[in-house]
Chains A and B, each alone.
Chain A
């Protein structure tokens, strides 16, 4: 480690202002901060520096995603084995399944990171600012919310679209008003619907005997979801790579909440919103979907994943505490409304979060405005 530090210190002057490779300064900076804690010292005035900088925040998110990722890899293998009727002894198959899924999922992750980071580095270089860590989380989120059979060139295209149109045109990390990972998914969903929905895409190399429909797909055509509630809870169902397992997502949620990276207000209010609308459509009834018990919505599709990892993105969520309640409640409510009432879109969570991302600044504006008015009123009364 020490020799690496010495090496970096030795070549550093080349990349600083006036050096030989001045133009590559931010690329160098990115690798330096990747390896070591930045050794910059504030020189003017007094500032308080928090140890929780963006690097640490992003790493916590990445760590929180690991359980869902590992489970997703195993599930990819398991679903494949199930569909081709492979029944070997259980101990071996856990590793076999995991290995099978690992080999399928890894290329998607590699493609996302290579494409996304290449664009990030290029932009940082052109604009002359430091490379941001934001993409490290986005790059892992994108593979977790796509079907395993997705062609890699589509992943590359969607990642490029999300980073350029979803983020960089607005000024890069922290300036985007929509979650880049969801932008990538929405792009894929509208651009290549045959590769993103239906009953053919969720299982890699599926056998002919079995239907690969997700619970959301089944209820869409009016059948009750065929997996048991327990299967849906544990996540032993077809679906996007990382979205199926509730326990794996809850582990991530716990990590995010303990470290304070994600907001519990948003997570809780999403569940409340979905429950409220779920109970409401249950009370009205009418067709199979409206009579589906409300808690099914938490177990199917990307609800849990979106609730924990997508909606809580601090950049695109509402900032005020009251605003977070409104923002979360409406996400939950819209997700269920879109699922139940819109036959074109089986999954409502993605669209609900994107919609509320757009409205988050407006919510904040009115929350702040209401606070100002309430205080003004109080001031006048006391006069």
Chain B
């Protein structure tokens, strides 16, 4: 893989991150990150949708009339989302239940349309595919960070395994309570804000004046 292509995957993880830098896809980042498992499934779903839609649109890019390109893009994305949705229902039904409407709402995820418009319409299929993977991973990375803290402090578990000892809990004579605020979406927004804060204080060139 050439250095240029590697950049397509690496850049969205940090300097061009879809959530913390472009501030896209916030809605689902708040909705599905109460636990790590649905967050990971969501991240994989979005990655697949972005990557494959990017590939398909890039293949068709020279034949799409500019005036109706949005509709064509939407059709491709919608097809991918339905495929992913059916796949989830067939193989991980419980997670699919948990994600409920948010899988269908990947269609409206700004990251998908943004990458199609900004990248796939101008670039070759392989590069577009890699760009889709990179942005999906960048999205997934933030989802994982947010879900990690929310599940750890909100439920005391990670991926469903108890991390905070049972004997600490007030119900068992200890002193600890799970933090209910972490379960609520506002806390997800605050965590995303803190991630952006940390990210920008480490990369000064991202700060606006």
A→B interface (CB under 8 Å):
151, 153-154, 165, 169, 187, 190-195
Can you name 13 extra interface pairs (CB under 8 A) apart from A190-B186, A191-B180, A192-B177?
Answer: A151-B175, A151-B177, A153-B175, A169-B193, A169-B197, A187-B181, A190-B180, A190-B181, A191-B182, A192-B179, A192-B180, A193-B180, A194-B177
* Those of B160-202 within 8 Å (CB) of chain A: 175, 177, 179-182, 184, 186, 190, 193, 197
A191 / chain B contacts, CB cutoff of 8 Å: 179-182
Q: How many Å from the CB of A168 to the closest CB on chain B?
A: 11
CA distance A194 to B181 in the complex (A): 12
Q: Which single residue of chain A is at the shortest CB-CB distance from B153? A: A191
Residue among A191, A192, A193, A194 with most chain B CB within 10 A: A191
Q: How many Å from the CB of B201 to the closest CB on chain A?
A: 11
A169 / chain B contacts, CB cutoff of 8 Å: 193, 197
A-B contact pairs, 22 of them (CB 8 A): A151-B175, A151-B177, A153-B175, A154-B177, A165-B190, A169-B193, A169-B197, A187-B181, A190-B180, A190-B181, A190-B184, A190-B186, A191-B179, A191-B180, A191-B181, A191-B182, A192-B177, A192-B179, A192-B180, A193-B180, A194-B177, A195-B177
Q: How many Å from the CB of A247 to the closest CB on chain B?
A: 35
Q: How many Å from the CB of A357 to the closest CB on chain B?
A: 15
Residue among B181, B184, B186 with most chain A CB within 10 A: B181
B190 / chain A contacts, CB cutoff of 8 Å: 165
A151 / chain B contacts, CB cutoff of 8 Å: 175, 177
Q: How many Å from the CB of B177 to the closest CB on chain A?
A: 5
Q: How many Å from the CB of A193 to the closest CB on chain B?
A: 6
CA distance A192 to B181 in the complex (A): 8
* Contacts between chains A and B (CB distance < 8 A), count: 22
B182 / chain A contacts, CB cutoff of 8 Å: 191
CA distance A148 to B116 in the complex (A): 57
B180 / chain A contacts, CB cutoff of 8 Å: 190-193
Q: Which single residue of chain B is at the shortest CB-CB distance from A188? A: B181
Q: How many Å from the CB of B138 to the closest CB on chain A?
A: 24
Residue among B175, B179, B193 with most chain A CB within 10 A: B179
CA distance A190 to B184 in the complex (A): 9
Q: Which single residue of chain A is at the shortest CB-CB distance from B190? A: A165
Q: How many Å from the CB of B114 to the closest CB on chain A?
A: 27
A153 / chain B contacts, CB cutoff of 8 Å: 175
CA distance A330 to B180 in the complex (A): 29
Q: How many Å from the CB of A148 to the closest CB on chain B?
A: 16
CA distance A154 to B182 in the complex (A): 14
Q: How many Å from the CB of B152 to the closest CB on chain A?
A: 14
B184 / chain A contacts, CB cutoff of 8 Å: 190
CA distance A192 to B182 in the complex (A): 10
CA distance A193 to B179 in the complex (A): 9
Residue among A151, A153, A190, A195 with most chain B CB within 10 A: A190
Q: How many Å from the CB of B20 to the closest CB on chain A?
A: 15
In the complex, the 9 A-B pairs of residues with the closest C-beta atoms, listed nearest first: A191-B181, A190-B181, A191-B179, A192-B177, A191-B180, A193-B180, A190-B180, A151-B175, A165-B190
A192 / chain B contacts, CB cutoff of 8 Å: 177, 179-180
Q: Which single residue of chain A is at the shortest CB-CB distance from B180? A: A191
CA distance A169 to B190 in the complex (A): 11
Q: How many Å from the CB of A156 to the closest CB on chain B?
A: 13
Q: How many Å from the CB of A10 to the closest CB on chain B?
A: 38
Q: How many Å from the CB of B150 to the closest CB on chain A?
A: 12
Q: How many Å from the CB of B200 to the closest CB on chain A?
A: 12
Q: Which single residue of chain B is at the shortest CB-CB distance from A154? A: B177
CA distance A193 to B197 in the complex (A): 29
A187 / chain B contacts, CB cutoff of 8 Å: 181
Q: Which single residue of chain B is at the shortest CB-CB distance from A157? A: B179
CA distance A116 to B197 in the complex (A): 21
Q: How many Å from the CB of B186 to the closest CB on chain A?
A: 8
CA distance A191 to B184 in the complex (A): 9
CA distance A165 to B175 in the complex (A): 25
B193 / chain A contacts, CB cutoff of 8 Å: 169
Q: Which single residue of chain A is at the shortest CB-CB distance from B179? A: A191
B186 / chain A contacts, CB cutoff of 8 Å: 190
A195 / chain B contacts, CB cutoff of 8 Å: 177
Q: Which single residue of chain A is at the shortest CB-CB distance from B197? A: A169
B175 / chain A contacts, CB cutoff of 8 Å: 151, 153
CA distance A60 to B70 in the complex (A): 62
Contact code string B78-116 (vs A, CB < 8 Å = 1, else 0): 000000000000000000000000000000000000000
A190 / chain B contacts, CB cutoff of 8 Å: 180-181, 184, 186
CA distance A169 to B175 in the complex (A): 30
